[in-house]
Amino acid sequence: MRCLRLRKRWHEGIRFPVCHPEALQDLFRKAGLEQISTRAIDAPTTFKDFDDYWTPFLGGQAPAPGYCMSLSEDDRAALREGIKASLPIRNDGSIHLIARAWAIKGTVAEGSRTA
């Protein structure tokens, strides 16, 4: 349970709700843009083993690693084990995931253009 609680706090989709296409579209609409479209940009990511996946979290750079390094050693160990248990680790130890970013575009509404 402790690990689940930590993972929920850590999940960037929860910490950064704008990282969802619907939220991005809402921002564009509020800015007065029209003909808004989003699309996923997926990139395969392969890690040779769990240590290859985990090590960047220990650098403290960026939101998830910063959060990870803010935890006590016990909480960080619980997070590590919870993440490890949830990953699709293959027989050879490698981990194959898909990294996703969202692209969005829109046009300035007619009559909203300034010179």
Domain spans of the chain, in order of start: 2-108
Return the number of other C-beta atoms located less than 10 Å from residue 76's C-beta.
17
Q: What pTM was estimated for this model as a whole?
A: 0.70
Residue with more model confidence, 76 or 13: 76
Token pair, residue 100, equals: 């996703």
Query: What local confidence, expressed as pLDDT, does residue 1 receive?
Result: 47
- H helices present in the chain, as ranges: 2-10, 12-15, 21-30, 50-54, 63-70, 73-86
Q: 60, 71 in Cβ contact below 8 A? A: no
Q: How confident is the model at residue 66 (pLDDT cuts 50, 70, 90)?
A: confident
